[in-house]
Amino acid sequence: DIQMTQSPASLSASLEEIVTITCQASQDIGNWLAWYQQKPGKSPQLLIYGATSLADGVPSRFSGSRSGTQYSLKISRLQVEDIGIYYCQQASSAPWTFGGGTKLELK
């Protein structure tokens, strides 16, 4: 199975701050990488797919990038509504696997 190692596990940031979350794949997955946001008590929501493409309705302050087998999610100016847990997920091959999550809190 492909392992997805996400860091940091938790992150505290101020409003308007730039936030970056990373995800390391255990093998080459190309651009088959998605990011999801999960707010407390809610279902995950697709943010980024294909490593860099923004899902419908997602604010442009979110962006994704790739360097080899390392993937990053960047929030350019943190807003209150961005608080939650973020997960990466590889869609290269079954079994689809998720990272351990990054809990983003306000400082």
> What is the binding site for other proteins (CB under 8 A)?
32, 34, 36, 43-46, 49-50, 55, 87, 89, 91, 94-101
- Closest separation between CB of residue 42 and other proteins, Å? 8
In this structure, what is the dihedral angle of CA atoms 21, 24, 28, 31, given to the nearest 10 degrees? Answer: -10
Residue 13 or 91: the one with the smaller Cβ distance to other proteins is 91
- Closest separation between CB of residue 67 and other proteins, Å? 21
Q: Are strands 102-106 and 10-13 parallel, antiparallel or unpaired?
A: parallel
For residue 80, count other CB atoms closer than 10 A to its CB: 7
